Each structure stands twice: as structure tokens, then as C-alpha cells.
């Protein structure tokens, strides 16, 4: 029969009551006062300034989906369309552009995010230019025409830590 020996005594560090109270109070205070400060964003109740590129067809519903925010700029090459006139009446405070490049140059610092609802072959080009201005992008499908474009946009998104979304 094997002999049963008492287990070797492990060296335990003893924490006295004062040390425990001090440490737990510090942790509770950090959690109560520090974490909310870190998580709190700037201007939580403020609205985003959104620019919409392509406001006819699917772009009309994409623009209207952002109506709860500040629509600050609208861009469409077809300024004579019914959609253009409709959106002009609906968002009278928005500035209108025919060229998205001019819009980004002139209003870039006033824009938080951009919707891209242009013809398919322009999605990656427009999204890329918007992302170069460090703006969030909502782009309609298809996002790209080639694998290279998809990888390029993915890389830019990660490098610049941008928020992006594709409509499906």
C-alpha cells in the first residue's frame, strides 16, 4: 500500500484586508469613472453630415435613408432629371454638384460620410476617392469590377481605419 503523504505546502502570498480594500476600491473607481469616459464619443446626440453621390434611381432611396442626418451635399451628373429636382426640394440646405471630385474638394472637411449610388463601373473609383479623404462610405453593389480594386479598397479601409458598408 502506498503511503499517503501530506501535500507540499505551496507558498501563498497573503493579502491583508487593507491591501484588498485599497486595490478593489481603485479598480471599482477606475471602472465607474474611467470606462465611461473612454467609451463616450464626441457629440453623441449630434447628426452626421452626409454627402450623396448619385441621387437618381437607387441613389434616391439611399439619400432618403439618410434623411435623419444632415444631408449637406448632393451630386449627380444629370442635373436636369426629375430625381434631381425632387431631391433639391426635399433637401434645400444641401449644396448641389455635378462633379463628385469638386464636391469632395470643396466640402471635404464638412462631410462625415458619403453614399455612393453611381453606375456600377464608378463605385470603386468614387469610393476610393472618398476614402482618401478619410470619410466613411456606404457603397452600392457591386463594390468593384476587379479583384485588384477589391483588395485595394480593403487595404485602404484597414490602413485608414474607416467605416465602410456595401448595400445589397
The per-residue pLDDT for range 87-146, each reduced to its tens digit, is 889 999 999 999 999 999 999 899 999 999 999 999 999 999 999 999 999 999 999 999
pLDDT at residue 39, as a whole number? 46
Report the distance separating Cα 34 and Cα 26, nearest Å: 11
Angle (nearest 5°) at CA 148 between 147 and 152: 120
Domains and CATH numbers, the chain: 49-167 (3.40.50.720)
As a dihedral over the C-alpha atoms of residue 128, residue 132, residue 138, residue 140, rounded to 10 degrees, the angle is -10
Average pLDDT taken over every residue of the chain: 84
> Is the pLDDT assigned to residue 50 strictly greater than 80?
yes
- In the three-class reduction of DSSP (H, G, I as helix; E, B as strand; rest coil), residue 55 is classed as coil
Other C-beta atoms closer than 10 Å to the C-beta of 161 total: 7
pTM of the model: 0.72
Top pLDDT among 6 and 101 is at 101
Amino acid at each position: 500500500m502506498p503511503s499517503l503523504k501530506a501535500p507540499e505546502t505551496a507558498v501563498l502570498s497573503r493579502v491583508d484586508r487593507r491591501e484588498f480594500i485599497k486595490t478593489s476600491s481603485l479598480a471599482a473607481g477606475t471602472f465607474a469613472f474611467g470606462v465611461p469616459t473612454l467609451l463616450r464619443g464626441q457629440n453623441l446626440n449630434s447628426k452626421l453630415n452626409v454627402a450623396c453621390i448619385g441621387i437618381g434611381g437607387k441613389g434616391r432611396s439611399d439619400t432618403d435613408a439618410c434623411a435623419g442626418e444632415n444631408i449637406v451635399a448632393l451630386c449627380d451628373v444629370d442635373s436636369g432629371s426629375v430625381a434631381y429636382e425632387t431631391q433639391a426640394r426635399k433637401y434645400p440646405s444641401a449644396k448641389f454638384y455635378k462633379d463628385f471630385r469638386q464636391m469632395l474638394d470643396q466640402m471635404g472637411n464638412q462631410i462625415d460620410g458619403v453614399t455612393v449610388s453611381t453606375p456600377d463601373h464608378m463605385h470603386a473609383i468614387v469610393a476610393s476617392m472618398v476614402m482618401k479623404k478619410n470619410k466613411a462610405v456606404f457603397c452600392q453593389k457591386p463594390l468593384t469590377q476587379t479583384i485588384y480594386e477589391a483588395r485595394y479598397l480593403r487595404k485602404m479601409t484597414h490602413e485608414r481605419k474607416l467605416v465602410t458598408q456595401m448595400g445589397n
